[in-house]
Amino acid sequence: MSAPIVLGRFPRAILHIDGDAFFASCEQARNPELRGKPVICGAERGIAASMSYEAKAKGVTRAMRLFEIKKLCPDAVVLPSDYETYSLLSKRFYEVVRRYTSDVEEYGIDECFADITGLQRPHKKSYAAIAAAIQSDLQRELGFTFSIGLASTKVLAKIGSKWAKPHGLTAIPNKYIHRYLETHPAGNVWGIGPQTTALLQKFGIHTALDFAHRDEAWVKHYCSKPFQEIWHELRGKSVMPLATAPRTDHSSVQKMKTFTPPSNDPRFVFAQLAKNIESACMRARQYRLEAKRVYILLRTQSFEHHSTELTLSRPTNFAHELLDIARPAFAELFRPGTFYRATMVTLAELTVPESQPDLFGGSLRVDNYRRLYEGIDQVRAKYGKHTIHFGSSFMAHDGAQHTGDRADTPERQRHLLKGETKRRRLGIPMFTAELS
């Protein structure tokens, strides 16, 4: 089973670049006093959203609850997540990679793919040396490390970036693919989920190499198209293009907010849901899309979920229309006496708005609403996201999202730069340093 799959050099050279413990690393980079300490982000959610390698070494895992963390790691530094700073550093991360190639897919806030095929001569470096240069630039300019996988396909590059974390650089030439796949569990391959893992195990497929060695007829018979593509990519054949263009095929928009302490006040919980709806509709209008279906969800203090689907008479991205139908649905979902800690709304089956003339003035009313929301969005763009909001969401805006143990706000929000307000920011991260 360890026989080579294919022979040859890099027909394509794809990088997967992955930030090491990204959120926690951002915190350590901007505050040198945190370096070498177990740092955990996610205080506002009550769980570990990201943890430094020092915290991982002490047994802290993702989604571990804070009271468990304090028992396991008493010296842990627990911080509220500062997504504003993480997002700004993520943009710098992409900018560094784009100095070497314009073909960059921003796959996530802490990871991207980059195609460096054919760039050896312009950069006067081998593919591995280009990857090393990117890795060095990222560490020097952002202050923390990244792991990189270099291979001829996206799936193999993903395996490479995870191979030697943190700060690893793993090149997988086609003639050595089998060495990396023979010990890699099939269920850990990017894109293969629990159901497919169970199917593969049923047929005695346990490693990525087991799967790659199956013949094409078997794969076509038992696997859908996405898994057929993974099979090709594991064998060194690139079939997944990089998505370098701005994303326009949004299938859904989801907005969720947690709040502490949990509340059993229906007015407060509905206000949180109303704020979700306003934010989701803003995003849908930004994409110039309307929702055909809407789901709302309430999460209880004990992490139970109560949800329902709302039926729309026509696609919409107008918040007031969704609030009108969400209110009676909320009344059915809400259980008096139960404490809730989060609300969520999902706008699904997004579609491009269409103008449909009718005899009863409906299209005219819709056009008027569109102009109204265009004006509201212009005001929000100039003065802040929630400068204008419905009375239904007032209680969600009137006060902090979190109080008590989770009330700490990120340092970047507590220290504004000159010219900034709570809602108008300059897009500059804040770093701590000693001046000599």
Would you name the residues annotated as active-site residues? 111
- For residues 382 and 334, the answer to whether their CB atoms sit within 8 Å is no
Q: What is the DSSP string of 146-159?
A: EEEEEESSHHHHHH
| Residue of 369, 341, 355, 202 whose CA lies nearest to 285 | 369
How far is residue 295 CA from its own chain's centroid? 20
How far is residue 374 CA from its own chain's centroid? 28
Cα–Cα distance list, 400 to 44, 59, 263, 395, 397 (Å): 11, 32, 13, 10, 8
- Residue 106, classified by CB atoms within 10 Å of its CB into exposed (0-12), middle (13-18) or buried (19+), is middle
DSSP alpha helix (H) spans, 173-265: 177-181, 194-202, 208-212, 216-222, 225-234
Q: Is 385 helix (H, G, I), strand (E, B) or coil?
A: coil
- The span from the CA of 29 to the CA of 249, in Å, is 35
Q: Encode burial over 323-344: b for 16+ CB neighbours within 10 A, e otherwise.
A: bebbeebbeebbeeebebbbbb
- For residues 258 and 341, the answer to whether their CB atoms sit within 8 Å is yes
- For residues 357 and 243, the answer to whether their CB atoms sit within 8 Å is no
What backbone phi and psi angles, to 5 degrees, belong to 153? -140, 165
67, containing H or E segment: helix 66-72
Residue located via tokens 């086609």: 174
Apex 276 CA angle, 271 and 281, nearest 5: 125
